Structure 1
Amino acid sequence: MNSNDVSLNLIAITIFAFVLASLVGPLVDLSPAIPATLAGGLLVLATVDTLGWQNRGSTLLVDAIAQFSPEHRDRILHHEAGHFLVAHTLDIPITGYSLNAWEAFRQGQPGNGGVRFNTQNLENSLNQGNLPATVVDRYCIVWMAGIAAELLTYNQAEGGMGDRQQIRTLYQLIRQSPDAAQQKERWAILQAKTLLQTNEAAYTALLDAMRDRKSVEECQHVLTAVNQASVSESVDAS
């Protein structure tokens, strides 16, 4: 359920509760002013959140409830670590990350959080009308890396609709068909899976670093250190 659904449901529940209280109120000697005041307050809050705050309150509410589930928190961590590792591997600059809506809100970011990338290279190429296939491939792999991480860990992906939409939007901009976008999604997931499996030790270390909310620079240092250690072991073994 998205945040807009929550706001609409809150309005519906408020109306239902008001009607119910109006019917039951006389039986329990409840003043009609009490449910009316509460219903009015909730309706105002829901309306302000929907129209004036872009559903941020609903987003925070939904995510706060979801955060009670350790499995949900762990799934989000694996998903975002997948984005982070693949972006780092493909040299796409990472500008920040958050693992829940509250962290995103505190960082001045909308939505439920996630890994943020520098997309200037992609935007410049689009504006110039000259978008190399290699640039498209790199960003598509990064966008699908969260889904790939969930598939490798849980055998199914619950998140990633926004990531898929990134590819679909890009393919609309470059006038490619929806079928081509879906094919690219599948291809990018396979590529991301390969990168995650190849860098399994680095991915595991990154999970620990992100779980501890280490900075982007610290997380990148962890990845570099693990990769350097792997190279040294390979040299020693040979």
Structure 2
Amino acid sequence: MSQTALNLIAIAIFLMTMTSLLGPIFHIPPVVPAAVTFGILSLATVDTLSWNSRGVSLLLDLFASAEQRQRIICHEAGHFLTAYFLGIPITGYTLTAWEVLKQGQLGRGGVSFDTKSLTAKPFEFEKMRLTLERLCTVWMAGIAAEKIAYGNAQGGAEDRQQLKQALMMAGLPEVGYSQKERWAQLQATNLLTRHQESYQALIEAMEQRASVEECYAVIQQHCDADSDKLIANQF
């Protein structure tokens, strides 16, 4: 079950507990909180199995705080900026479950990439290794961005899962996953720290839902493109 579904279950349990405590005061029959909780849990299960948890995500979006929304933008801007400097084409981005639904996408959205152009030919092992390292850095950039801004990361579970799946497909032993994750997060942290001005400008652009091309232009306006593009050659 997805994290959003688990969050909804936690909310249902909390509501049931509070209703049970306040029920005698407001004369609420005991069957009411039980029925409501059962209904919420049933909907969460159906949503997870048949609608990819989009219903839960939409509901949680309604109750997201301003800080949570800002964290999401901070997280996704980290992915965006890192992908830009590492030469990974960006095809779009979404910042809320409603935007994901309107675009007809599956999953929880975020920054989407065109990885087909990065595919190496058979036996080009070095290119495959470099491409994987670039992608790992981009996947960990959201977590790195949150830690820079807030000191901790609340998101990133799906990013870590993507990284582990890619490493598994590449044949890396499982004992090396944590080391590669830390390495990629460090690379992302260094890049974001080096380009704070561009990063802050990108956040403002994404808050206004600027297009990918407009976001590219914002980044270029706040950095020396000729020197900064050389970062990609380190991978």
TM over 0.5: same fold? yes
Task: Name the aligned partner's letter for residue 59 of structure 2.
Answer: L
Q: Which runs of 5+ in 1 are unaligned?
A: 232-238
Alignment of 1:120-199 (within 5 A): 120-122=116-118, 124-125=119-120, 128=122, 130-131=124-125, 132-199=128-195
Is residue 214 from structure 1 mapped to residue 210 from structure 2 by the alignment?
Answer: yes
Aligned to 2:4: 3
Is residue 104 from structure 1 mapped to residue 100 from structure 2 by the alignment?
Answer: yes
Range that drifts further, 169-178 or 110-119? 110-119
Q: Aligned to 2:222, what secondary structure does the other structure show?
A: helix
Provide the aligned C-alpha RMSD in A: 3.3
Label 1:144 to 1:38 Cα distance change in 2 as closer, same or farther (>3 A).
Answer: closer
* C-alpha distance in structure 1 between counterparts of 2:82 and 2:142, whole Å: 9
Task: Name the aligned partner's letter for residue 221 of structure 2.
Answer: A
The two structures have a TM-score, normalised by structure 1, of 0.76
Label 1:213 to 1:12 Cα distance change in 2 as closer, same or farther (>3 A).
Answer: same
Label 1:224 to 1:39 Cα distance change in 2 as closer, same or farther (>3 A).
Answer: closer
Residue 58 of structure 1 is aligned with which of 56, 61, 68?
Answer: 56
Report how far residue 179 of structure 1 moved: 2.3
Label 1:50 to 1:195 Cα distance change in 2 as closer, same or farther (>3 A).
Answer: closer
Q: Which has the larger radius of gyration?
A: 1
Work out the number of aligned pairs and report it: 217
Task: Name the aligned partner's letter for residue 3 of structure 1.
Answer: T
Task: Name the aligned partner's letter for residue 187 of structure 1.
Answer: W
- CA deviation vs aligned residue, 1:161-203 (integer Å, no higher than 9, x gap): 1111111101111111122121111111111111111111111
Aligned to 2:111: 115
Label 1:198 to 1:170 Cα distance change in 2 as closer, same or farther (>3 A).
Answer: same
Is the contact between residue 52 and residue 107 of structure 2 (CA under 8 Å) also seen in structure 1? Answer: no
* C-alpha distance in structure 2 between counterparts of 1:79 and 1:6, whole Å: 19
Identity of aligned residues (%): 43
Label 1:41 to 1:168 Cα distance change in 2 as closer, same or farther (>3 A).
Answer: closer
Greater RCO, 1 or 2 (C-alpha within 8 Å, sep 6+): 2
* C-alpha distance in structure 1 between counterparts of 2:54 and 2:134, whole Å: 31
* C-alpha distance in structure 1 between counterparts of 2:223 and 2:124, whole Å: 34
Is the contact between residue 63 and residue 112 of structure 1 (CA under 8 Å) also seen in structure 2? Answer: no
Q: Aligned to 1:227, what secondary structure does the other structure show?
A: coil
- CA deviation vs aligned residue, 1:139-170 (integer Å, no higher than 9, x gap): 11111111111111111111111111111101
* C-alpha distance in structure 1 between counterparts of 2:132 and 2:38, whole Å: 50
Alignment of 1:15-34 (within 5 A): none
Report how far residue 9 of structure 1 moved: 6.9
Is the contact between residue 7 and residue 55 of structure 1 (CA under 8 Å) also seen in structure 2? Answer: no
Label 1:177 to 1:212 Cα distance change in 2 as closer, same or farther (>3 A).
Answer: same
Is the contact between residue 2 and residue 59 of structure 1 (CA under 8 Å) also seen in structure 2? Answer: no
Label 1:207 to 1:39 Cα distance change in 2 as closer, same or farther (>3 A).
Answer: closer
Q: Aligned to 1:159, what secondary structure does the other structure show?
A: coil
